[in-house]
């Protein structure tokens, strides 16, 4: 049962018939792993904490830089040169005392990543480089942990959701065989409009809240949703399983 104070805090969610009190309790007992505390992660974390996710494990080895403040909205001027994960932990404590945060302020090796993924109910890939994305994808596939991944550059954003509990499902590498692709662009080289990356981070949080509170993703899985920040139009592409994928094909 929710306490009186919890009911008042979350009543706007509890009144939704497909969430209700049971769904809110699921959120309060959930464990979400967020890898990356940049533009994607900072937006997603605030909404996950506000929604009542009970435990967040946040991973980032970076410190706050003045160039981050244009889009990484969880940070403040007073956080400059401080550890990102510790700054996020402080902000979450001010957002919602129901949300407990454990920090990992370093790059994880494969064994630690696999362990953290296995312990989590769901993983948000909010990182900014392809090798890390592929490692996250592989760990999630191996442990059958749902994965919500997003990216943004310039005016463009992408979102994909993978529920690895099904049979013969594709994975992130099926869509992006990174060892066969040219080197990717990053925000420092290609630029980024703040609200675009914030939009994708918010949608990652929304997908996570769906899966945890309702028990399933309500949006299509195994797709790439592409957002154009100039026209504000969306496109959707299906991801088909690659029979030669080194991650998900036996």
Q: What is the rounded CA–CA span in Å between residue 219 and residue 223?
A: 10
- CB proximity list for 145: less than 8 A, separation 6 or greater: 117, 118, 120, 121, 122, 123, 139, 164
Q: State the sign of the Cα–Cα–Cα–Cα dihedral 243, 247, 248, 250.
A: positive
Catalytic residue among 140, 171, 174, 187: 187
Q: Is 37 noted as a catalytic residue in this protein?
A: no
Q: Which helix (H) or strand (E) holds 157?
A: strand 156-162
Q: What is the rounded CA–CA span in Å between residue 84 and residue 74?
A: 10
Packing angle of the helix pair 39-51, 84-95 (nearest 10 deg): 30
Token pair recorded at residue 62: 């970076």
Asked if 119 contacts 104 with a C-beta cutoff of 8 angstroms, the reply is no
Strand partners, 234: 227
Per the listing, tokens 């605030």 go with 46
Active site residues: 187
């Amino acid at each position: 049962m929710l306490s009186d104070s919890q009911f008042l805090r979350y009543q706007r969610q509890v009144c939704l018939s497909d969430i209700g009190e049971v769904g809110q309790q699921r959120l309060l007992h959930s464990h979400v792993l967020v890898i990356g505390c940049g533009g994607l992660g900072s937006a997603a974390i605030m909404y996950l904490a506000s929604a009542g996710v009970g435990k967040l494990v946040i991973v980032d080895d970076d410190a706050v830089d003045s160039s981050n403040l244009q889009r990484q909205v969880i940070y403040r001027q007073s956080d400059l040169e401080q550890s990102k994960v510790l700054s996020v932990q402080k902000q979450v404590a001010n957002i919602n005392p129901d949300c407990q945060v454990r920090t990992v302020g370093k790059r994880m090796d494969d064994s630690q990543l696999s362990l953290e993924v296995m312990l989590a109910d769901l993983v948000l890939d909010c990182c900014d480089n392809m090798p890390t994305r592929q490692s996250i994808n592989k760990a999630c596939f191996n442990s059958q942990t749902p994965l919500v991944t997003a990216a943004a550059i310039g005016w463009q954003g992408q979102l994909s959701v993978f529920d690895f509990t099904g049979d013969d499902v594709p994975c992130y590498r099926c869509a992006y065989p990174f060892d066969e692709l040219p080197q990717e662009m990053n925000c420092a080289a290609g630029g980024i409009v703040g609200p675009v990356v914030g939009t994708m981070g918010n949608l990652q949080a929304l997908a996570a809240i769906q899966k945890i509170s309702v028990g399933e993703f309500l949006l299509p899985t195994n797709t790439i949703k592409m957002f154009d920040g100039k026209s504000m139009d969306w496109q959707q592409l299906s991801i088909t399983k690659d029979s030669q994928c080194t991650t998900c094909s036996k």
